[in-house]
Amino acid sequence: MPTIAVIDYDMGNLHSACKGLQNAGATTVVTDAAADLAAADAIVLPGVGSFDPAMQHLRSRDLEHPIKAAIGSGKPFLGICLGLQILFEASEEGTEPGLGMIPGTVKRFQSEPGITIPHMGWNQLALTQPHCPLWRNLPDEPWLYFVHSYYAAPSDAAVQAATTTHGSQTVTVAIARDNLMAVQFHPEKSSTVGLQILSNFVQFVAAQQLAIA
């Protein structure tokens, strides 16, 4: 049973994500301690709110380097919502530098007739990395739940794992590169499909443990 550290940096309710991971067979440790990140088999970085406060809270807890070190070591890592955005270099939402693990920026949706900002509610994914571990046993165009006004724009299209369309804008809503994965939508609020994604991450972590053993 893998142990997954869920990072607590005062940016959202962690209960639902932990419950989904636990239902999939993981043991969760809610923490802001670098030692717990190092000891865990995998890390989940959730988040709700704004870019600058998120980065300030991470840096005030001296978590920036431990997060980067964990990702660099090959440890499975999943970012959720704001936890995806702060993996990038910068955001139009603020002035703080992001973690910079993925080249690119976070941009605001452009206003256009007939669409609302924030992009809120259920929307379909186009899976641009069909073999991403997160997508196992999912429908071809799954519906997920979103709440966001900003979206990630990676410099390298190869990291893009899924897109969705809001109005005339098609945007990246998931990225995957080796051990690093992140999603803009909320799997913990996305019914059975979202729970399957969390279960897929737990299974990926377990497979990595077996490979190391």
Active site residue 132: no
Q: Tell me the pLDDT tens digit for each residue of 27-71.
A: 999 999 999 999 999 999 999 999 999 999 999 999 999 999 999
Q: What is the 3-state secondary structure (H, E, C) of the chain?
A: CCEEEEECCCCCCCHHHHHHHHHCCCEEEEECCHHHHHHCCEEEECCCCCHHHHHHHHHHCCCHHHHHHHHHHCCCEEEECHHHHCCEEEECCCCCCCCCCEEEEEEECCCCCCCCCCEEEEEECEECCCCCHHHCCCCCCCEEEEEECEEEEECCHHHEEEEEEECCEEEEEEEEECCEEEECCCHHHCHHHHHHHHHHHHHHHHHHHHHHC
Domain boundaries, the chain: 3-212
Identify the active-site residue in 81, 93, 132, 166.
Answer: 81
- For residue 84, the model assigns a pLDDT of 98
The pTM (predicted TM-score) of the whole model is: 0.96
Q: Tell me the pLDDT tens digit for each residue of 46-57.
A: 999 999 999 999
Mean pLDDT across 189-203: 96
Is a pLDDT exceeding 70 seen at residue 213? no
Identify the active-site residue in 18, 119, 166, 188.
Answer: 188
Quick one: what percent of the chain has pLDDT higher than 90?
86
Active site residue 18: no
Mean pLDDT across 141-149: 96
Q: Is 3-212 in CATH node 3.40.50.300?
A: no
Identify the active-site residue in 119, 148, 166, 186.
Answer: 186
Q: Lowest mean pLDDT: which of 1-15, 30-44, 55-69, 156-170?
A: 1-15
Active site residue 166: no
